[in-house]
Amino acid sequence: MQIPDTFREKMRELLGGEYPAWEESFQNKVHSGLRINRRKADPDELKNRIPFSLEPVPWIDNGFSYDVDTAAPSKHPYYYAGLYYLQEPSAMTPADRLGAKPGELVLDLCAAPGGKATELGARLAGRGVLVANDISASRARALLKNLELQGIGNIYVTSEEPAKLAGIFPETFDRVLIDAPCSGEGMFRREPQMMQFWEERPPESYVPVQRSLILSGAAMVKPGGYLMYSTCTFDWEEDEGAIRFLLHERSDMELCDIAPYDGFHEGFADADLPELKKCVRIFPHRMDGEGHFLALLRKKERAVEIQEHRGKKSPYRAGKGVIPEAAEEFLSEIRREFKRQRFYIQGEQLYYLPEGLPVQPGVRYLRTGLLLGSIAKKRFEPSQALAMNLRMEEYPRCIDLSAEDSRTVKYLKGETLDVSDVVPARAKGYHLVCVDGFPLGWGKLSGGILKNKYYAGWRWQ
């Protein structure tokens, strides 16, 4: 597909002497990567167990690139164990450089399908809260799947208008990510057909929504907290232009330095706003990434009056600690301390709420915390999300198969398994099925035969 002339000219003006190298990059192979889930595995240790060749992404400590001609990471049981997320290397940068610390309140405002939210969630290490939002309900469902597959339980997944969230969560979050919808110019090497879409829907058409998003996002950052704005486009108005707009609208926001890397290009500054240089540009002719823009901002301490409904109580009560006996019995076997006040029952579903941010009325939630399981007819059925959230050592009855054992893929396809060679003769009931020590899902054992309880919607295709 031909690069549109107007786009070519715009890039020539932006890049000056670097333009020919950028244009030449269209002849090179696209970059493919995976990011190891630090919630489940140590990147240095796991990379040696993954049976295909990986090269470190030099600016991301848990990022690796692979060759699509020799590796198929989505066709390996480790993918189903949530041990990594497939992500183009430059797209790993915003969540990495925003960071998140255990115990913090973090919001990803445009989160689907979860490439950045899964990293932010992993960094919370089970403490604090990740609110992952996407305005599109169908995309938010894909986001939920990815968060659950990666074993992240301290989440609220919402599908809301960002301006509405800003009214509900003023100055609430330690860190906010806005990975804005954009004209996607950084994706053109990978998906040339997007160039046609670009001509139909040009960069300027995204500017109003980006400005509205950045204002909503900034309103939800705590004083002293951070906002990362990112796009996968090169257009100045969508990138530095959005930051210029925010700095003009909010004197309490300031640009911060981003941890450097040799290949990064500084932001393109205006003469009257030199600090725009603190933004980061990723270009495919300078480093092994397709293209991204990042700007990290901080809200100055106490620059804005704290709004009165900050910290308001939720009218929804978490459980009083009373849960049905069958659930109580099941959970008592898990080697983990559950705080009773965090149980939350809705219909037949039992959830474990995150700590630090109550459920709010009027918000469209797709998930409130970790779905533990369902309670029907006095029986408790543990959820797929719970299996993914556990470590093998936390459950007393596990069936640990190797990635090479043909039963592993059969399990992921939903088949019944004969596991009589790996379980004691009289073992029965729920078992956690694992691959090389990492949980995949549940099965119910009787007489050496394992009835498959792997979530049907996630089966190996």
State the residues that interact with ligand SAM by CB under 6 A.
Answer: 91, 109-116, 134-136, 139, 162, 179, 181, 209, 213
For 167, the token pair is 């009214």
Nearest distance from residue 119's CB to ligand SAM, in Å? 9
Q: Which residue is nearest to ligand SAM (CB)?
A: 115
CA distance 322 to 382: 17
Q: Is 40 helix (H, G, I), strand (E, B) or coil?
A: coil
Which among 431, 438, 432 is positioned nearest to 402, based on CA atoms? Answer: 438
Is residue 440 within 8 Å of residue 459, measured between CB atoms?
A: no
Q: Residue 179 or residue 240: which is nearer to ligand SAM going by CB?
A: 179
Residue with smaller CB distance to ligand SAM, 91 or 218: 91
Count Cβ atoms within 10 A of the Cβ of residue 370 and give its class: 0-12 exposed, 13-18 middle, 19 or more buried: buried
Residue 218 CA: distances (Å) to CA of 170, 172, 224, 423 = 9, 10, 12, 54
Output the smallest distance, CB 169 to ligand SAM, in A: 14
Q: Is the dihedral of CA 400, 406, 409, 410 positive or negative?
A: negative
**Bridge partners for 5 per DSSP:** none
Q: Which C-beta is closer to ligand SAM: that of 145 or that of 431?
A: 145
Closest separation in Å from C-beta 214 to ligand SAM: 11
Report d(CA 407, CA 402) in Å as an integer. Answer: 9
Of 64 and 343, nearer to ligand SAM (C-beta) is: 64
CB closer to ligand SAM, 21 vs 163: 163
With contact defined as beta carbons under 8 Å apart, do 280 and 258 qualify? yes
Spot the catalytic one: 182, 232, 279, 398. 232
The reply to whether 279 belongs to the active site is no
CB of residue 118 vs ligand SAM: minimum separation in angstroms? 8
Give me Rg for the CA atoms of the chain: 23
> Least distance to ligand SAM from the beta carbon of 357, Å?
19
* Helix axes of 137-149 and 117-124: crossing angle, nearest 10 degrees: 40
State the nearest-atom distance from the C-beta of 117 to ligand SAM, in Å. 7
Where do the DSSP E strands lie in 196-328?
221-231, 253-256, 265-266, 280-282, 292-299
How many other β-carbons are positioned within 10 Å of the β-carbon of residue 304?
17
Choice between 112 and 124, CB closer to ligand SAM: 112
Contacts of 24 (CB under 8 A, 6+ apart): 285
By C-beta, is 213 or 409 nearer to ligand SAM? 213
CB 331 within 8 A of CB 262: no
Q: What CA–CA distance (Å, rounded) separates 126 from 132?
A: 15
Tell me whether residue 187 or residue 331 sits nearer to ligand SAM (CB atom): 187
- Rounded distance, CA 104 to CA 130, Å? 8
**How big is the chain, counted in residues?**
461
Q: Least Å distance between CB 82 and ligand SAM? A: 15
411 residue type, one letter: Y
Residue 456 Cβ vs ligand SAM, minimum distance, rounded to whole Å: 25
**Which residues form the catalytic set?**
232
